[in-house]
Structure formats: structure tokens, C-alpha cells
Amino acid sequence: MHQSISLFSSCSSIFHIFLVLNFYIVVSVNGEIVNNQCKNLSSSDPQVNYDFCVSSLEANPLSETSDIFGLAEISMELCLNNATYIQTYIDSILKDGKAEPGARVCLGNCIEFYSMAFREVQKAMEAFSGKDYVTALVRLGGAIASADTCQDGFTDAGVDFGPLRKQYDDFFQLDAISLGIITNINGPLQ
């Protein structure tokens, strides 16, 4: 009786150790995809900041347990949400009435450019789910081109881009993260 109890307890502690080890292995391997991808992207692209990359992707708890394909989808969702957010943000600047007339025209155009960027990211996501990674990369490039066109409008009109600077930089980085992850899946475009 005594022996069987001690046998049971040593089995249970071995089982416990096994569970704990297993937990660590699963969690560290899973959590590492974000770190590994962000390290990879920030070392190959000076425009991707490691901390921004990790905190953006980890905002979605599914990133911890996803593979590289899931991570690509999560990052494109971030682009999509951010393009929507920026349109709302521009709208709020226009409504508060403080922008000078020249800036108002540019801002109004930028709502349209970010709505085009949104549609490009949507097309990228569709292409990605159809495993057409090349089209996904081209569409993500188109989204950045749209955001750039918004900025060019300010430059051409000689208007300070300041109010949209942070929004542009964040969107640019989110898009660059998607581009980088899908390039790691597909290989670089020829």
C-alpha cells in the first residue's frame, strides 16, 4: 500500500515535469515565430523596426500560435484595419476645421488614396488565400504606392505633411511587414 502510493506520487511528478516541459516547448516554439520573423525583417529592411513589428503582431493573440501563413494573414488584417483607421482619422481632422484650406484639399484626396490602399490590401488577402503570392506582393506594393500618392499631394502643394506623418509611417511599416513575411514564404519577386 505504502509502496503503491509512493509509486503513484513519483509517476505523477514525472508526469508533472513532462507537462511543464511540454508546455514550455510548445509556448516558446510558438511565441518565437513573431520574434524570428521580426528579427528577420528588421535586419533585412531598415524601414522595419523590430519593436514595432513585435508589438503590432502580438496585439493579435492568435499570432502566438500561428504559422507563417497565419502570421501573413494577421499582418494584412493590421494593414486593412489601419487603412480604415487612417480614413476615420483624416475625417476627424477635416471636421475639427483647424486645417488650412490647402491642407484640406490634400487631406480630402488622401481619404480616397487610403480607401484605394484598403482595396489593394483586400485584393492582396484574396490572392494570398488563393496561394497567388506574387499577386499578393504586387497588391501590397500598390497599397504603399497609394499611401505615397497621398504624401506626394502635400509635397506638390507645399503643405506640411506633419498631421499624417505618424499615420503614414505606421501604415508603411505594417505593409512592409506583410511584404516581408510573404516574401519569406514565396521568395523574392524576380
Ligand X SMILES: *[C@@H]1O[C@H](CO)[C@@H](O)[C@H](O)[C@H]1NC(C)=O
Q: Which residues bind ligand X (CB under 6 A)?
A: 40, 43-44, 78, 81-82, 85, 166-167, 170, 184
CB of 167 or CB of 178, closer to ligand X: 167
Judge contact between 107 and 94, C-beta under 8 A.
Answer: yes
- Using CA atoms, how far apart are residues 107 and 154, in angstroms rounded to an integer? 8
Judge contact between 80 and 118, C-beta under 8 A.
Answer: yes
CB of 7 or CB of 134, closer to ligand X: 134
Shortest distance in whole angstroms from residue 31 CB to ligand X = 18
Q: CB within 8 A of 93, min separation 6: which ones?
A: 99, 107, 163
Judge contact between 183 and 128, C-beta under 8 A.
Answer: no
CB of 98 or CB of 166, closer to ligand X: 166
Shortest distance in whole angstroms from residue 120 CB to ligand X = 17
- Using CA atoms, how far apart are residues 154 and 78, in angstroms rounded to an integer? 25
Shortest distance in whole angstroms from residue 188 CB to ligand X = 9
Shortest distance in whole angstroms from residue 24 CB to ligand X = 25
Shortest distance in whole angstroms from residue 161 CB to ligand X = 14
48 DSSP assignment = S
Which residue's Cβ lies closest to ligand X?
A: 81
- Using CA atoms, how far apart are residues 57 and 94, in angstroms rounded to an integer? 30
Shortest distance in whole angstroms from residue 170 CB to ligand X = 4
CB of 149 or CB of 186, closer to ligand X: 186
CB of 7 or CB of 160, closer to ligand X: 160
Judge contact between 113 and 146, C-beta under 8 A.
Answer: yes
CB of 66 or CB of 82, closer to ligand X: 82
Q: What residue has cell string 513532462?
A: 18
